[in-house]
Structure formats: C-alpha cells, structure tokens
Chains A and B, each alone.
Chain A
C-alpha cells in the first residue's frame, strides 16, 4: 500500500464509567507512541455531538485515514462511529473499536493498574488491526416486490391478506387441496360465536377477490436459492394422475407458516384406538360440526353419551413418556369451550375434566368459571390418569391431588385433549431455508423479544404455530406481524448488505473446493475457467460472513473482509508487543 497510514485514536471517559478505573490520559500518551498514530485524544463522551465533531475535524485536519475509538462495546456504538467516518468522507470500514468499558473498566474496578495496562494493550491491538483495514462498500441488491407464503393456515392466510392489501404480489403455497390448515377443524372459538371455518372462510374470500394473490394448492416448495430481496423458489404442484408441474417464483421475502400437527396419541395411550369410546378433541370437534359425520349430533361409538371425561394435556406437559414438555396453549380453552357448547345442547350430560394445570390464561379464565357454573367437575392429577375400557362404559382412574385420594369414574366416552407437535415438514423446511429450530423441534425466531417473527436468515419470517404452540388469536396476530416485517423489505427498491463477507484471490486459489464444502449457505461454487483452471466463486448475496471458509483455505486465497488473516494475526501479535 503506497498511501501513508495515518491513524487517529480517541479514548472515551464515558463519564466515570471508564475514566473512574482506567487512567485515560496514560492510555492516550501510550497511543501516541504507536506506529502510524498521528493524533490521540480523550474526551468525556466520545459518542456525544462534540465528541463526534472532534473526530470529524481531526479526520480533515490531520488527513486521517484510519480511526480507532477506545470506548464501549462495538455492539453499542460501532455504527455511530462508522457514521462519523462516512460523514467526514472517509470509508466507514476504516474504523476499529477497542472495548475498554464492558471488557475492561466495568469488570476490573478493583485493579486500576491492571485495567489501565489492559486498556493500553486493547488500543494497541485495535491500532494494529486498523493499520491493515481496507475500504469496503456495502453490497446493494435489487428487491423483488413479491412475497412467498408457505402454508395456508390462518397465520399464512392473514399474512397473505395483509400483504396483498398493501399491493404486493403474494404466492401462497399450500400442500393440501384446501386452505385453512388445522383451524377449519376447530369448532366455536373463544370470545365469539364464529367457528374456525368461519374465520378461514372470511380470510379466503377476501384473498381470492384480490388479483395480487396467487394461490397454489397441492403444492410444495422444493428448492430455494438466492437471499434477502431476491429469492428464487421452485414449487412443485401435483396435478393428479401422478403428474406434476414445476413453478419458478422470484420473491423478495418469505413467510413460513407451516403450522403444526395435532399430537397423535399412541395406540393404547389413554385407551386410544383400543375402543371407539375414546376420541381426540379434534375428532370430537368434527363430530360436533354441522358438516361432520353425524351432522352435529353428539354420537361417540354409536351412542349418545350421558357422561364424558375430558383428559387434558394429552401429549403435553410431559404427562406420559411420549408427551412433549411444553404446554400446547389452546387445548384447555378449546376443551372448555367445547364442553360449554355440549352443555348448552345436552344439559343432562355429566362432564368430568381431568387436568394437570388449568391454563385458560388471559381472558379465557372466564371459560373456566362458566364451566364451574355449569357443574363441570374438575379433577386435578399429577400422574396421568389410566383409561380402562369396560363392557358398556369406560373407567377413568386417577389420583386426585385435591382430595388426596384415588378415584375411578365410569363414563360413556373419553375425550383426549391432544396438543400440538411440529408439522411433519418442519425439518425439511428448516434445512431448505437454513433456519434454526429449538430442542422441541419448532422453528426458532432470531430472538424472542428483540427480533420476534424473524428467522435467523435475513428475509425469512415465521408465523403461527411453526415457532411453537399458539392459540388461533396469537397465530393470526403473528401472521400480521410477519406480513408487516416482510413489507419492510419488499417496500424497498434496493437493500444494502454488510460487506464483511468472503472474497477469493483468484490467482492464489487452486479450486480445491474445501471452502465450498464447508459453507453453511452454499454461497461458494467451483467454476472452471476457459483455460481449465478451477477457482472458487463466492455469491456475495448468499455469503453471510461467518469466515469458516477463510479459516479452512489451505492457500490463503479465501479471505473474509474485515477479518482477513493478516488483520487477525496483527491483533494476535499486538497482544504481546508493539512494533
């Protein structure tokens, strides 16, 4: 590099946060002795307007071409100071930060000498790296103003409707032949007289009336390439008679709303499938539906029961060895709402509810008190009840923790309030889109509180039960949330991506392909040039800048901008000595 390196070092007091422990003046004097440092200063709050102005003036006055700020964590103010460089006409990536607050003054308050020594070394390390920094430009990419929604349950439908109403093209891909997902199976919903099907129909009608909505039924996403702003998607649609067609789509963002599968009890679990007198809650809701097999008549195993036992937490709260550890959030309320409907139509039926924890949370508490008023009997258990089919009835036996006694209740039929498990396709989608999942198997948001509905992969959003149990209200709300988030991307014409990505020195690359095999994003391909030379190519829109390729490259041809071998090595060396 022919240009003379001129570094400015700025040491922040952060009031007394740093200066109360670290001898800031000593750090400044030390910084002045480091090679290429032409100016070093301290200030009470470097991030304040006067602090920023000082750096800007110095960049011009001292012709600085690198800046080091020793202050808080870069997580806090790196963007601030990069902005300062940009404003002063210097490339924002010619900046390095030394973390002398979170990593130094705050954790070593009792040893001022050691803290000052450490701060000096952290500055020395930052200066060593700064010397080798190179200007970088943010990568710009055009955004396709369209969104792919995977899954046509309530969450996906709501997201679709919100986005088409904002004028975006939405491609809604549903695996089944009908829209609505599990919600269509739900009977009358809490707080309303609407059924799940009513809610679905109202959404579907509006979506179908909007020319921006493109619905693909019997279809599955097979392949997704590209990245935020420009995903290329291959969808396979089943046409019947074993025929398929492939559809290519190009979208700026993706919403994953693949829902859940109802927990399927094992054969014999609570007597399931050993007698026709044991049904799941979903089956019961189907029986009670006007369009169901009995046209809404309550008939279980051919008889109209005079007594019913509901067992809650089937498949949830670790009640049985097969059960999941989490609460499925909807089954308590859905069971009680169903019971109240039954009581309305058949007031003579005795209903017993075996529960582990009554989680009619929020306003749904009302359902619980209404059930009590309707003389529904609640029996609390710790250990799962046993269900024993007898000749003419079914016996449910449990240790009632309230009265501290074992009880056995004969009933005509048993309803298992089965919870939710991740949809069958979750793993396939997770791998295809490179999004994380938790130990429970549900997809994972980037951060539950700071980045809800966002997947860790940019441009991909998650809605509905795909990320974990939700009731229908929460699912619909998350559909709207995901749509709003996706809109923040597709409303832009162009997006900027961090340039801290991998780049290849083609002259040094031997095309061995180690990097390509390691890349978690398939961002690297091996190309054969006209002269037969194999070289590695990085797709800058796919690369997320982890640097695992650079760590493995045997020739040093693959480098990560901002974390090049020489830059990191300079920091390592500067940890121990100045130059």
Chain B
C-alpha cells in the first residue's frame, strides 16, 4: 500500500498566520508539503461551512489560524472565530470526524517557528489516524 500522504487545508488570516508562513519561507524553515493554504483577511471570515466543505471534499485535516487574542487586525474577529470553531469542533465529533483532525491556532506574524511546530504535529497526528472515514454521509 502506498504511503498515506494526508492533505490538510489551512485557513490563514492575512495579517498574522499567512505572514508567519511567509516568514517560515524567507527563513528557509522546513515543514511537510501536506498543507494547502487558503488566505482570508481575518480568521473571522472562516464560515464553518468552509471547514465542513473541506472535509467533505476529502481533507484529512483542517487548521483555522489567526492572530492571538487581543492582537486581531480587526479588533476582535478572532474571538468570533473562537466561538464558531468551539461549536464546530463539537459538531465534527458528532459527525465522526476525530477531534485531532481539526485545530484552531493563534499564530502571529513573527511565529514561523510555532507554525512549523503546529505543521509537524498536525501531520503526525493525522497520519496516526489514517485517511478520513466519516461516519455520516454528507449529502449535497
């Protein structure tokens, strides 16, 4: 059997996490090539449906990441993300999607190292679970 290469979707805010990933690049840090980043201006833009759609399409994991609490470029958009994603986590579990497949992270523009750490951990934990097999069929 071919080696399982999980695909993980990252919703990153423009000001903190996207910039942290840029910094990881300019600093020539290395992390696994399993991530596909979708930029939004604020993590507050991440509609929980985006996350559900990613899992439906075949994501093995999803990360939503933004500025640290108190540091949001848009005052407090990230706090709304926190509320939404806390609820979404419960929903995902009920749908049979293991909680290790979803992470909400605060990664500032300076925290390239933190991103690399999160990326490595995420790949490891998703690999340990294997490919996503939802308990419920998600219908159109």
Contacts and interface: CB of A to CB of B under 8 A. Distances in A.
B24 A107 contact: yes
Contacts of A110: 30
A575 B19 contact: no
Contacts of B75: 434, 436, 520-521
A571 interface: yes
Interface string B3-46: 00001010000000011011011101111010011111110111
A102 B77 contact: no
Nearest to A118: B33
Given A565-B47, A569-B50, A125 B38 contact: yes
B95 to A, nearest CB: 17
A439 B71 CA distance: 10
Interface in A68-90: 73-75
Given A544-B74, A572-B9, A111 B40 contact: no
A545 interface: yes
Interface string A532-561: 000000000000111110111000000010
A106 B22 CA distance: 10
A239 interface: no
B74 A106 contact: no
B114 interface: no
Interface string A409-444: 000000000000000000000000010100100000
Contacts of B113: none
B29 A107 contact: yes
B30 A107 contact: yes
A547 B50 contact: no
Interface in A84-122: 99, 101-104, 106-111, 114-115, 117-118, 121-122
B41 A550 contact: no
**Per DSSP, are chain B's interface residues mostly helix, strand or loop, or mixed?**
mixed
Interface residues of A, number: 48
Interface in B29-76: 29-31, 33, 36-42, 44-50, 53-54, 57-59, 70-71, 73-76
B26 to A, nearest CB: 6
Contact of B57 (A102, A434, A576): A576
B133 interface: no
Nearest to B54: A572
Interface string B75-92: 111001000100000000
Contacts of A406: none
Nearest to B46: A551
Interface centre among A109, A439, A560, A575 (most CB of B within 10 A): A575
A548 B28 contact: no
A571 B38 contact: yes
Interface in A223-265: none
Nearest to B48: A551
B45 to A, nearest CB: 3
A102 B80 contact: no
A529 interface: no
Contact of B84 (A104, A108, A551): A551
Given A125-B36, A520-B77, A576-B7, A546 B42 contact: yes
Contacts of A122: 36
Contacts, number: 129
Contacts of B9: 572, 575
Nearest to B84: A551
A213 B41 CA distance: 39
Given A551-B45, A577-B57, A102 B22 contact: yes
B21 A575 contact: no
Interface residues of B, number: 42
A434 B57 CA distance: 39
B7 A111 contact: no
B47 to A, nearest CB: 4
A551 B44 contact: yes
A63 B26 CA distance: 36
A500 interface: yes
A568 interface: yes
A456 interface: yes
A546 B57 contact: no
A43 interface: no
A573 interface: yes
Nearest to A568: B50
Contacts of B22: 73, 75, 99, 102-103
A573 B57 contact: yes
A547 B54 contact: no
Interface string A514-525: 000010110000
Contact of A576 (B21, B30, B58): B58
A525 B77 CA distance: 18
Contacts of B84: 551-552
A435 to B, nearest CB: 9
B13 to A, nearest CB: 9
B37 A103 contact: yes
Contacts of B58: 576
A412 B38 CA distance: 68
B18 to A, nearest CB: 8
A563 B41 contact: yes
Contacts of A563: 40-41, 45
A114 B57 contact: no
Nearest to A551: B47
Interface of B: 7, 9, 18-19, 21-22, 24-26, 28-31, 33, 36-42, 44-50, 53-54, 57-59, 70-71, 73-77, 80, 84
25 contacts: A106-B26, A107-B29, A107-B31, A110-B30, A115-B33, A434-B75, A439-B70, A520-B74, A546-B45, A547-B40, A547-B42, A548-B77, A550-B45, A550-B47, A551-B45, A551-B47, A551-B80, A565-B47, A568-B38, A568-B47, A572-B50, A572-B54, A573-B53, A575-B54, A576-B59
Q: Which 8 A-B pairs have the closest CB atoms?
A: A102-B25, A547-B45, A548-B44, A546-B74, A520-B75, A546-B42, A114-B33, A106-B25
Interface of A: 73-75, 99, 101-104, 106-111, 114-115, 117-118, 121-122, 125, 434, 436, 439, 456, 500, 518, 520-521, 544-548, 550-552, 560, 563, 565, 568-569, 571-573, 575-577
Given A99-B22, A520-B74, A569-B49, 14 more contacts: A75-B18, A75-B19, A102-B25, A109-B28, A114-B33, A117-B33, A436-B75, A518-B80, A521-B74, A521-B75, A569-B53, A572-B50, A572-B53, A576-B59
